[in-house]
Amino acid sequence: MKILAISGSLRADSYSTQLLRTAAGLTSLQLWNGLATVPPFSEDHEDAPAQAVHDMRAEVAAADALLIATPEYNTTIPGQLKNALDWMSRPYLEGVLVDKPVAVVGVSPSDYGADWAQNDLRKVLKVCGAHVVERHLCIPRADSAFDDEGRLRDRAAQATLALVLDDLGALVNERKQV
């Protein structure tokens, strides 16, 4: 199964990207690093999108599933992630997110672990036609969340991350049978 992991952060030392690396210790996944190359969405450019948009859509289309780690900016998902999702959502009802199994996770320095952003991300993904894993993983107090091996210090959270990945695999198998 090919899982494409997308971090919604462009920050070099991103906790969100670290969370995806932690997930990579539990299952095979490919970390996508093209977010910064995606141009601002404009309907004026929909007929001839930039190569970066073609490349992103091809990578998403080729994946069996997505694992997205979103930061929380001002209670919602960062603009750069929403921008990429807007490109993925087009053409309307034919975008690469249609029928795509997706799991969402989040980590933040606050006590809430990017919960609001994750809920907003689930809403956007569903309206784009994705099938979204319902299990939630909100990692709070990001600055002390990871140990030296990159695993989550909170063993319950580490176990929940494994369950999110299990759910994603089950969703992929379920969709293959439809």
Q: Which part of the chain contacts ligand FNR (CB under 6 A), choosing from 7-15, 21-29, 146-154, 162-170?
A: 7-15
> Does 9 sit near ligand FNR (CB under 6 A)?
yes
When the beta carbons of 27 and 73 are compared against ligand FNR, the nearer one is 73
Q: Is 16 in the site for ligand FNR (CB under 6 A)?
A: yes
Candidates 4, 5, 15, 23; binder of ligand FNR (CB under 6 A) is 15
| 72 near ligand FNR (CB under 6 A) | yes
Span 96-125, contacts to ligand FNR by CB under 6 A: 108-110, 112, 114
83 binds ligand FNR (CB under 6 A): no
DSSP string, the chain: --EEEEES---TT-HHHHHHHHHHTTS--EEE--GGGPPPP-GGGTTS--HHHHHHHHHHHH-SEEEEE---BTTB--HHHHHHHHHHT-STTTSTTTT-EEEEEEE-SSSSTTHHHHHHHHHHHHHTT-EE-----EE--GGGTB-TTS-BSSHHHHHHHHHHHHHHHHHHHHHHT-
Shortest spacing between CB 4 and ligand FNR, in angstroms: 17
Residue of 36, 16, 38 lying closest to 89 (CA atoms):
38
**Residue 80 is a binding residue for ligand FNR (CB under 6 A):** no
If binding is defined by CB under 6 A, does position 129 make contact with ligand FNR?
Answer: no
Binding site for ligand FNR (CB under 6 A): 9, 11, 14-16, 71-75, 108-110, 112, 114, 142
